[in-house]
Structure 1
Amino acid sequence: MIILNFFLIFLIQPAFSQIYEERLPSLIENPEKPKTGSKYFGYNFVMKTNNGNTKFIVGSPKSESRTGKVTSQTGELFSCEYSPLATSCVRPSNSLARMVGDSPDMIPESLNLGLTVFSQTDKDIMVCSPQKTLNCSNGMQNPGACYVAETGKELAQDFDECTKAVHQDIMILIDFSHSVNQNEILESKKWTKSVTSQLDIQNTSNVGIIKFSNAVEVEVGLGTCKDQRELNQTIDKMTLKQLHTNTGAAVNLAMKELRNSPRYHDENCEKFIIVLTDGRANDQDVLKSAVDDVFNSDVTLYTIAVGNFNKQQLLNSLRNKSENLYTVRSYFELSKIVTSLAQSITGSREDNIGHNELWQAENGIAGTFGKTVNVWSLLVGNVGDVCSGGI
């Protein structure tokens, strides 16, 4: 940290975390001074002034708190009374983490209280927890939450409960045409087994498989395989067909399978068609009407395009949203998209904004939070301190 007369120059590295006021620099540090691991004290904060007195409400998203019988990294807010000569920071007796961390389904470490802190009114401080996660019987759910800091009251409290189980009916269409060689077929099978292994076939996900070339065949009827072992054995037995690429006929057959499912009209069952192909469809007219049928239904279409495709033409022909189109250069790169596709289907995608921001702060990429208080003052929080964090 270098301060020149009337100028403020910050050299901020992951090992330091501070807020400075220009005319009389001072430091506010984490009062608990943890010995290991940054607690990200100072990641976000608000400043309150009353009759000349200044108080900071400082977020520390990785501070530990005791909820019930367990100590967890819930995050916390600290109250810091500030003056140029002395600063006193304490964890309030009405700890926000203790007030909100006792939900039976909630994973306390997901709260990261202090990740977002802002002043809603002259009196209320609001704290948001975008990573809040519930451990529900049907899997992890990420509702997020916002709280009033002083009372722990949650906005939209119905989000604090697990939602009803969502099921999936999924038809996977695999290109077995002449352009796909034996080794590439093996990679297609491997990829299909990897994707389906991330689904809950025994409880929530019904899977069907169609292979297509000039002929179109149902290899696995929707929901007929009741566990992963049985499904894998069936996939391994699939044989090469070749000749043309009748993608449209395959989509039509997939829609027939989905409509025959007793869950087709169930609003708690999501329907998907996943097309894995490396070539232009030979039945373009049939494909157009088949895709129209998909988009007039509640079915979501994903396309996995292998090789050199004109992306825009592919999007147009399959009417895909760009986020529903995956492209890889070869069949041997299919493994790169297994997790993201499975998470898109099940709704458990982990690219959480808060998680990414904290990771960046920890690695020195980000983690500086600044506020201009008035024309003379600049406050900067640098949270990457490996021992504490501070403002």
Structure 2
Amino acid sequence: FNIDPVTWKYFTRNNDVGFGYRVIQRDTSSFLVSDPLVQYSHNTRGQVYSCTVSQETCLPVTINVPSEAVNMSLGLSMTKDTQSSNSVCGPTIPKDCKVLTTLNGMCFIMSGSDAVSAPIPSALRSCPLEIDIAFLIDGSESVEDVDFVKMKTFVTTIIQSFSNCSSQFAIAQFSTGFEIHSKFEAVNDIDSWRKRIEEIKQQKGWTYSAKAINKLVQSAVKILIVITDGRSNDEPHLRGAVEKAEKKNIIRFAIGIGEAFDDARTKQQLHVIASAPVAEHVFNVTDFDALDSIREQLEENIAIEGKFTNKSKEHDKGVDEGNNENGIDSQYFFLLSQPQIGSYFGAEVCVVDLNCDSKTDLLLISAPTYVDSHSEGRPYFTFSVALVGMAGHRGRFGSSLASPADLNGDGFNDVLIGAPLEEDRQGSIYIFNGGVDQINPTYSQRIAGSSVRSGLQFFGQALSQSSLDHSGDSLPDIAVGSKGAILLLRSRPIVFVDVKVTYSPSKISTSQTNCTKPLENTLTVCFNMSRYKHAITDLAANISYTLKLDAKRYNHRAYFLPKNHVLSDAVNVTLEEVCKDHPFLIEACAEDYLNPLLNELMITFEGLPSQSLENLQPVLLPWIKNTTLWMLDYEMNCGSDNLCVDNLKMDLSFGSANIEVGIMQEINVTVFVENKGENSYNTHFTLNYPFGLSYRRIMPRVGRANCHSIDGMRGILLGETICQVNKPLFAGNASWKKKLWHNFFKIYLFHKKHTSNPSTYILTYHLRLGWPYVPFKWDTSWPGFLYCLKHPK
């Protein structure tokens, strides 16, 4: 995230479009660049340049290329080791052999003083030796005539498939006796070979395979293919014959045909004949008609053995060995091949040392032509985890890979990935940050070639595997290749900004019980910028910020003048704390005493150019929050211990001592509450009364009074009225007096006489008071009012 997306240094070689194909930062003052496409003589292709950063010049490096290294594309691959030595290679040297032209390569080791070693290898590899393949076919009595013909056809097909290679073939038949039908010779005319094989007559007789192998190993056999349909009659001699073949390094394939090999002992004979591992050198088919089903696999295995190719035997796996800077680390990384054909999986490989301990932690392998519905290119670093770039681009993401350094100073090496075809071939590079045991799969920065320099093409086609400080600011710089150019990009110094908001006064006063007059306050915002893991001091930035007072409320209780709850400002900061004051007003109403103001601060950071760093600008750590909330609370006035201890007293009286049911329509109760202690919060009292009464209203309505009630049920539930006392704050040394009014229901009590006229009784209720804070149970034998005064502790 901290790479400056502006070109610091630009190097080119005019019309040499291949310049910039590979780049190595060799030391803090210079780097190597290759142009493997430049043709400066008929037989010479490829050039390596040494570029001096301070002079911004690139000069050719003199490398004595042997005359046989024709058009080697010098610099098509380059790498660097820990000893500051650089390897420069050219892998396209043609060598004409008998039937094909091979491509060979040579490398040169360059020291820091541009001294170049002799080529490695010193001479080109000679043409591949001829592959001598001998067929030993079973002509015993157990093979039917028609099956013997099928066997000969199978041999002809195998020979034809290798007829264009430098191979010689021999054919021998075994039964009781042994007969060589064709000695080793090349296939110049396949038709004559086919006719010669068709003329082979079946011997009939027993199956003496050990004797036949003993006879055949006396010839210069490279590969031996034994085809048989049953158990050997000279089994005791079989192992000795095979040992002779093993000593001569003869590679042996065994093909068993028919049900005889269902027997374990007979099948074991095939395992004895064949080379190890038997899984690749033993073939079983049910009958002669099935021979063609194994032909392709047999041809592939023969080709592998004949060319000494160490191909993995697992067709769905690749094995790569990781090494470290101090030597080989015997850890292997197994990576599943990708199923998409043509994805070019393995085009680029990059070892990653995440924790900077000189040991490989991850192996990054790219498939730059992997295509899905959103993008092109996909590097992998585990069995299933892939890194992806910006969606919507067909950019060959993963065409170049590098893990050059810890770019952001967090202690973990980071990864660079090139996508040279993005944005109509202008190209881009991506930065992925390393972490504990993994790479963050979300890129932290994308740098488009169009933003770095106009006119670039294929930006990101090459990335240096190391990242050194070329600018002298103690920060790593990266080298990126594009078509015909190399660009140096610098790291920006990272800074941390500590934000602090304070208020004066620090609390909102609660001494004012109404909100007619706004309270004055001052908000002070402070910014303290500090360095993040570097020593650069010439740093400055502009911080734009926006303050929103009471940001979480729709009806705002605070505002700046002229009555606006939002204020925007900016301040320039250096490595010293900078503060700024902003006066504002608060409408402090008593009902909000338990609801503090949440004021929002949003900042925007912009680094200012540093003259000492050639106008390089600092960058803010990305995990610094740009939006924060700062609370301004109401004061509690609870003494030095900040713990409120109230002292509540309560008194009440009826408007009348007697209640005449059916005559009086209302009854009032006067409640007096007093707080002789410190502030009391959310104070309330509860009034319980018998069935027949219903709460109506509270008087007077001035002040903060709120009651709600539930009417009683005859014989089941008492009526209940709960009243808040100056919610939320009942201040110390304050009193509260209200009159509660209740209505009567019509109540008719009937005598047990059998008459139709009801009689009305006059009921007298007595006031019954309990000690404050202590709830009382209703005594059904003595009706009356029960009060309970409550407040939270």
Q: TM-score w.r.t. structure 1 length?
A: 0.61
Higher RCO by CA contacts (8 Å cutoff, separation 6 or greater): 1
What is the rounded CA distance, in whole Å, between the counterparts of 2:11 and 2:197 in structure 1?
A: 56
| Change in CA separation of 1:136 and 1:94 when aligned onto 2, cut-off 3 Å | farther
Aligned-pair identity in percent equals 13
Q: 1:173 aligns with which of 133, 136, 153?
A: 136
Paired position in structure 2 for 1:321: 276
Superposed displacement of residue 344, structure 1? 3.6
Pick one of 395, 409, 414 that aligns with 1:378. Answer: 414
Answering whether residue 24 of structure 2 is matched by residue 24 of structure 1, we say: no
1:96-140 Cα distance to aligned partner (Å, 9 max, x none): 6xx53x633x4536x573434113633x42224567553356965
Q: Distance in 2 between matches of 1:340 and 1:30?
A: 50
Tell whether 2:83 aligns with 1:121. yes
Give 2:236's match in structure 1, choosing from 269, 282, 285.
285
Partner Cα distance (2:33, 2:269) in 1: 50
Query: Quick one: which of 180, 185, 189 aligns to 2:155?
Result: 189
Task: Output the CA distance in 2 between the equivalents of 1:281 and 1:212.
Answer: 13
Alignment of 1:1-391 (within 5 A): 22-25=2-5, 45-50=23-28, 53=29, 55-57=30-32, 63-66=36-39, 68-69=41-42, 77=48, 92-94=59-61, 99-100=64-65, 103-104=67-68, 106=69, 108=71, 113-119=75-81, 121-122=83-84, 124-129=85-90, 134-135=95-96, 144-149=105-110, 150=114, 153-156=117-120, 158-160=122-124, 163=126, 166=129, 169-176=132-139, 178=142, 181=147, 184-200=150-166, 206-213=168-175, 215-223=177-185, 228=190, 230-240=192-202, 245-256=207-218, 258=219, 271-277=221-227, 279=229, 281-283=231-233, 284-296=235-247, 298-305=248-255, 313=268, 316-318=271-273, 320-322=275-277, 325=281, 327=283, 330-333=290-293, 334-338=295-299, 341-342=302-303, 344-345=305-306, 347=307, 357-358=346-347, 363-364=369-370, 367-374=399-406, 376=408, 378-382=414-418, 385=421, 388=458, 389-391=461-463
CA distance in 2, matches of 1:46, 1:361: 23
Maintained 8 Å contact 2:400/2:462: no
Larger radius of gyration: 2
CA RMSD, 1 decimal:
5.0
SS at match of 1:108: coil
Q: Check the 8 A contact 2:134/2:224 in 1, yes or no.
A: yes
Q: CA deviation at 1:34?
A: 10
| Structure 1 residues not aligned, in runs of 5+ | 1-5, 7-21, 259-263, 265-270
Structure 1 residue 274 displacement after superposition: 1.4
Give deviations 1:49-86, integer Å, cap 9, x for gaps.
Answer: 42xx5x543567xx4131532686x6x65656779xxx
Aligned in 2, Cα 1:302/1:152: closer, same or farther, shift over 3 Å? farther
Q: Report how far residue 371 of structure 1 moved.
A: 1.7
Structure 2: tracts of 5 or more residues without a match: 313-317, 319-343, 349-365, 371-377, 380-398, 426-457, 464-793
Q: Are the aligned partners of 1:362 and 1:384 in contact in 2 as well (CA < 8 Å)?
A: no
Partner Cα separation in structure 2 for residue 369 and residue 93 of structure 1: 26
Q: Conserved in 1, the CA contact under 8 Å of 2:48 and 2:61? A: no
- Give the SS at the match of 2:224: strand
The answer as to whether partners of 1:248 and 1:281 remain within 8 angstroms in 2 is: no
Give the residue type in structure 1 aligned to 2:462: G
Shift in Å at residue 375 of structure 1?
Answer: 5.9
CA distance in 2, matches of 1:120, 1:103: 31
Given that 1:195 and 1:341 are in contact with CA atoms closer than 8 Å, whether structure 2 keeps it comes out as: no
User: Alpha carbons of 1:80 and 1:314: their partners in 2 closer, same or farther (altered >3 Å)?
Assistant: farther
**Partner SS for 1:159:** coil
Summarize the Cα distance change of 1:169–1:46 in structure 2 as closer, same or farther, 3 Å threshold.
same
Q: CA deviation at 1:141?
A: 6.2
Deviations 1:292-320 (A, max 9, x none): 11123x2412215367989x957851361
Cα pair distance change 1:34/1:223, threshold 3 Å:
same
Call closer, same or farther: CA 1:322–1:107 in 2, change over 3 Å: farther
One-letter code of the match for 1:363? T
Q: Distance in 2 between matches of 1:239 and 1:33?
A: 73
| Aligned pairs, number | 330
**What is the CA–CA distance in structure 2 between the aligned matches of 1:280 and 1:89, rounded to whole Å?**
76
TM-score, with structure 2 as normaliser: 0.34
Match of 1:10 in 2: none
- Quick check: 2:227–2:255 contact (8 Å CA) kept in 1? yes
Superposition deviation, residue 157 in structure 1? 5.2
In the alignment, the residues of structure 2 paired with residue 349 and residue 299 of structure 1 have an alpha-carbon distance, to the nearest angstrom, of 16
